[in-house]
Amino acid sequence: IIQKKLGKKKMTLISFAGSTAISTLMLMLVLFAFDNPVTPWIYFVGVFFHNIFMALWTVTSPAMTADYCEYQQWKTGDRLDGYMSQYTTTISTICGMFTGLLTSELLIKLGASSSSDYSNPVVLKKVFIFWGILGIVCGILAIIPFLFWDLSEEKQLAMAKDIKTRSLREKLDDGA
């Protein structure tokens, strides 16, 4: 419902901007109120709202992927859904492995005595600061390409109609 009302681009920008804003607020909370006993509860609520904003992207992502695959088919005549799916899966797997390896090393670099030293408040504060900065940087980087996304809903529907027309013409030309 939200996607139909706002459009995929606006919904994506709201998702990334919202999660970036929440990351910024959480970073400020850690920087200025880390020792307050209420901070963990506020941080928990922040993570909840951050996940709500990211859920919007989870809804929009498959639709936008289909749109750019359709655009590519409209432009070139070839549709690369399988290729894009495999490419994304491969990149996600590599990034996931890299992230998993980095976590324990990062904790040690931030002052932990081991990769499971979560009880040290100095280390914990550094980790939260790092996560906050990373959330802000990644959020901003995620927004940038979508500022240039010019595939409106109307343009996408026109492309889909044109692709269908081309397909029918090809079938007629082939004698089917």
Which residue, 134, 154, 145, is CA-closest to 12? 145
Q: What is the pLDDT of residue 92?
A: 76
174 φ, ψ to 5°?
-80, -5
What does R_g of the chain's alpha carbons equal in angstroms? 22
> In angstroms, rounded to a whole number, what is the distance separating the alpha carbons of residues 12 and 6?
10
The lowest-confidence range among 48-62, 102-116, 140-154 is 102-116
Give the global pTM: 0.74
Q: What mean pLDDT comes out for the span 130-136?
A: 88
> In which residue are the tokens 């901003």 written?
140
Q: What mean pLDDT comes out for the span 124-150?
A: 87
Q: What mean pLDDT comes out for the span 87-113?
A: 76
Tens of pLDDT, residue by residue over 119-129, are 778 888 888 88
> Residue 79 region, left (φ>0) first, then alpha (ψ -120 to 50), else beta?
beta
Query: DSSP alpha helices (H): ranges in the chain?
Result: 2-6, 8-33, 39-76, 81-109, 121-147, 153-173
Q: CB of 77 within 8 A of CB of 21?
A: no
Average pLDDT, the chain: 83
> In angstroms, rounded to a whole number, what is the distance separating the alpha carbons of residues 163 and 77?
9
Evaluate the CA torsion angle 19, 23, 24, 26 in order and state its sign: positive
Q: What mean pLDDT comes out for the span 154-166?
A: 87
Q: CB of 34 within 8 A of CB of 26?
A: no
> In which residue are the tokens 């409209």 written?
74
pLDDT band at 159 (very low <50, low <70, confident <90, very high): confident
In this model, does residue 89 exceed pLDDT 80? no
